[in-house]
């Protein structure tokens, strides 16, 4: 049973979730406002939210029929019967509460009794929980309408990076939209691989993701647009902000993104695409770590 729950948690998605708040933390460190308590609670809240989203996705896709015998990706736990629907509903409620409690602790540590900011981020946190659940759960899940890409860009990019940076600094700098955009675009690219892999099962279930709407060939072109735009955004940021050569250390990770794009372009089956999800998630985390080391390195 433990193995089944670990499968449902989809641990390979966690590096991507941590990347966005990690970027916010590194930006805070580079500007002298980093705090470990805030960082640890931010990571914990993000992990709880990501697991919540994964559990809700497992449950929702099984209910709506996107996870079925024709699906070529890894089998889902509810669809395969190893976890019952009631057990999954209870787990969704549990991780929803964990996300809420962790988020409240984070806001108290970061914002104290600043009521205006506290209420704003509390509302944003509730929105994150609702978005995590309603991606595939409910009468009209927005993931089935092809809005998943926009949601990922907003939550993994702008909310994850800019929101976490604000919790450290209590301010937002306009220029930081660029690294936030990079993290968001790389995260959308991970979703695009997932949706390109699942085109046939999603189409049969009425899940109109971007790849279902535009077809596999154009979805691969779209993937390159996401990757190249992400690399361009962070390069523009570096050109405007950085003044030392070592701050460009993140470029070392770029071949990983080119390799991902090439492998997806050449992939002929869902089986070929599936490993690229984990590879791109880890590549994004490597990019963020290299960015952080370079930005904070004193030479």
Q: What tokens appear for 170 in the block? A: 């209590």
Write down the pLDDT at residue 299: 41
CA distances from 223 to 169, 209, 217 (A): 34, 14, 10
Report H helices in 85-214: 85-111, 115-134, 148-152, 164-169, 177-197, 199-205, 210-214
What CATH number has the domain spanning 2-296? 1.10.600
Write down the pLDDT at residue 28: 93
Residues 6+ apart with CB under 8 A from 83: 4, 5, 8, 58, 77, 91
- Residues 138-165: pLDDT tens digits? 677 777 777 889 989 998 899 999 999 9
Q: Which residue ranges in the chain fall short of pLDDT 50?
A: 66-69, 71, 299
Helix-helix angle 270-296:177-197, to 10 degrees: 170
In the chain the first and final C-alpha atoms are separated, in Å, by 50
Write down the pLDDT at residue 71: 46
Measured at the alpha carbon of residue 127, what is the angle toward residues 122 and 129, in degrees to the nearest 5? 95
Overall pTM surpassing 0.85 (yes/no): yes
Write down the pLDDT at residue 196: 94
Residues 6+ apart with CB under 8 A from 241: 175
């Amino acid at each position: 049973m433990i193995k089944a729950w670990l499968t449902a948690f989809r641990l390979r998605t966690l590096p991507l979730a941590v990347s966005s708040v990690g970027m916010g933390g590194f930006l805070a460190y580079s500007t002298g406002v980093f705090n470990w308590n805030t960082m640890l609670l931010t990571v914990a809240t993000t992990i709880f939210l990501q697991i919540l989203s994964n559990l809700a996705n497992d449950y929702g896709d099984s209910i709506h029929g996107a996870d079925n015998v024709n699906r070529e990706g890894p089998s889902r736990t509810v669809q395969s019967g190893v976890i019952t629907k009631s057990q999954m509903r209870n787990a969704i409620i549990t991780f929803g509460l964990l996300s809420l409690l962790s988020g409240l602790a984070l806001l108290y540590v970061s914002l104290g009794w600043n009521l205006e900011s506290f209420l704003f981020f509390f509302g944003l946190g509730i929105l994150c929980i609702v978005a995590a659940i309603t991606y595939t759960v409910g009468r009209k899940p927005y993931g089935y309408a092809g809005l998943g890409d926009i949601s990922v860009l907003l939550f993994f990019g702008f909310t994850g990076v800019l929101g976490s940076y604000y919790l450290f600094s209590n301010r937002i700098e306009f220029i930081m939209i660029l690294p936030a955009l990079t993290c968001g675009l790389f995260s959308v690219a991970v979703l695009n691989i997932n949706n390109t892999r699942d085109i046939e099962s999603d189409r049969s279930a009425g899940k109109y993701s971007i790849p279902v709407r535009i077809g596999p060939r154009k979805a691969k072109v779209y993937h390159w647009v996401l990757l190249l735009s992400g690399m361009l955004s962070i390069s523009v940021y570096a050109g405007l902000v950085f003044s030392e050569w070592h701050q460009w250390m993140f470029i070392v990770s770029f071949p990983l993104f080119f390799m991902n794009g090439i492998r997806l372009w050449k992939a002929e089956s869902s089986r070929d695409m599936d490993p690229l999800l984990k590879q791109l998630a880890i590549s994004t985390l490597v990019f963020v770590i290299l960015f952080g080391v370079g930005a904070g390195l004193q030479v």
